Amino acid sequence: MTPEERERYARHILLREVGGQGQQKLLAARVLVVGAGGLGSPILSYLAAAGVGLLGIADDDVVSLSNLQRQTLFRTEDVGRDKVEAAREAIARLNPHVKSDAHPRVTEENARKIVSGYDLVVEGVDNFAARYALNRACIAEKTPLVSAAVGRFEGQLSTFKPFADPGVLPCYRCLVPEEPPREEQVNCAEEGVLGAVTGVMGTLAAMEVLKELLSVGDSLAGRLMLYDGLGGAFRTVKLPADPACPDCSVHG
Amino acid sequence: MDITVNGEEKRFEAPLTVAGLLDALELAPRKIAVERNLEIVPKSLFTQTALADGDRIEIVQFVGGG
């Protein structure tokens, strides 16, 4: 590390669980962030600030005015621009040491190829189809997946790495075996979301990414964290593998 | 037997499975997860997981926004 880097990351290096070695791990890490929206904003900000070496950003939306109530990576003058490009600029302003790569929307067809270039994937996408595609790609590539979701005043977060303990640790599909009926899905566009909820859950997702990269603390793998914003309460519950899961079951 | 569902105490006839509880509450399994005593019950085990007196159940609705 250069003197400038040692100063930039001084508060990390002070932590016994991080130190110079941990910071080196972050500088060498490659993380794919899928969805540059309400969750993606704090995820990208904290991972860039932490010095994660390479951030892949997958999104094909443009910044719209109704995004700005929660997507803090963007400014009013970014409206109409490609999110990925605006996000890369924001990251570069925050930390010019961080490299970033642009990727299109993740689909069933391209997911595995994109995922294969990264050590870890974190997603805050706005639909179930992309979550299933990422889940399968991450299982195939044995890549940990930190998954966050929000709706209205609530959030859900977990880490999926079934390959680390097959039959015990779950994948995303063990939690959500099939897509909820579309008319009953809670999504931001139709149901609304309080902006700060995406800040809470995106920041927690960034925290879990950093824990996985540093191999410190208790992973959220095998657990589901639930945030009730109106109640002002968190609950973390056990999340076992589903023995009949079509995506990760050792029997299926 | 008495079961707490989302913080509310309710009385049911035993025996009752998770699937039976969802039927009684008229909830479609596709849009929810069921948490029993702080552990998510895998969906494929809903029909064979018997509930016991004193169980604390939370119905968790999936959120899908980003």
- Side-chain half-sphere CA neighbours of A193 within 13 A: 32
Encoded tokens for A237: 């519950």
Within a domain: residue A45?
yes
Quick one: three-class SS letters along B21-59? Answer: HHHHCCCCHHHEEEEECCEECCHHHCCCCECCCCCEEEE
Pick the closest to residue A97 from A227, A6, A196, A212 (CA basis).
A6
Q: Which residue of B has its CA nearest to A128?
A: B64
Q: Which residues pair with A193 in a beta bridge?
A: A152
Q: How many CB atoms lie within 10 A of CB A151?
A: 22
Q: Does A162 touch chain B (CB under 8 A)?
A: no
Q: Which top CATH class is B2-61? A: alpha beta
Does any domain span residue A69? yes
**Chain A residues with CB-CB distance to B56 below 8 A:** none
Under the phi-then-psi rule, with left for phi > 0, alpha for psi from -120 to 50, and beta for the rest, what region is A154?
beta
- At B31, is the pLDDT very low, low, confident or very high (cuts 50, 70, 90)? confident
Does the residue A228 lie in any domain?
no
Q: What is the pLDDT of residue A250?
A: 75
Q: Is residue A242 part of a domain?
A: no
CA distance A187 to chain B (A): 4
Q: A205 in a domain, yes or no?
A: yes
Nearest by CB: A149 against B28, B38, B66: B66
What average pLDDT does the segment B38-45 reach? 97
The Cα of B51 is separated from the nearest Cα of chain A by a number of Å equal to 17
Residue A246 lies in a domain: no
Give A151's contacts in chain B (Cβ within 8 Å): 63-65
Largest Cα span, chain B: 41
Domain ranges for chain B, please list them.
Answer: 2-61
Q: Which residues of A touch B33 (CB under 8 A)?
A: 175-176, 224
Rounded to a whole number of angstroms, the distance from the CA of A46 to the nearest CA of chain B is 17
What pLDDT is stored for residue A185 in this prediction?
Answer: 64
Q: Sort out which chain B residues have CB atoms less than 8 A from A126's CB and list them.
A: 64-66
Which pTM was predicted? 0.96
Residue A156 contacts by C-beta under 8 Å, 6 or more apart in sequence? A148, A149, A150, A201, A224, A225, A226, A227, B60, B62, B63
Euclidean distance between CA atoms B10 and A128, whole angstroms: 33
**What are the φ and ψ backbone dihedral angles of A154, each rounded to 5 degrees?**
-125, 155
- Per-residue pLDDT, A190: 74
Distance of alpha carbon A249 from alpha carbon A134, whole angstroms:
17
Residue A34 lies in a domain: yes
Helix (H, G, I), strand (E, B) or coil at A234: strand
Interface touch B40/A237, C-beta < 8 Å: yes
Q: Please give the pLDDT value at position A92.
A: 98
Residues of B with Cβ-Cβ distance to A249 under 8 angstroms: none
- Structurally, chain A folds into a number of domains equal to 1
CATH code of the domain in which A64 resides: 3.40.50.720
pLDDT of A138 reads 98
Q: Which residue of A has its CA nearest to B45?
A: A242
pLDDT value for A132: 97
ipTM confidence: 0.95
With tokens 């621009």, the residue in question is A81
Distance between CA atoms of residues B4 and B10, nearest Å: 6
For residue B35, give the chain A residue with the closest CA: A237
pLDDT averaged per 10 residues, chain A (length 252): 97 98 98 98 98 98 98 98 98 98 97 98 95 98 98 97 97 94 68 96 98 98 98 98 94 57
Tell me which residue of A79, A88, A83 sits closest to B66, measured CA to CA. A83
Domain that holds residue A204: 3-155+189-219
Helix (H) or strand (E) holding A33: strand A30-34
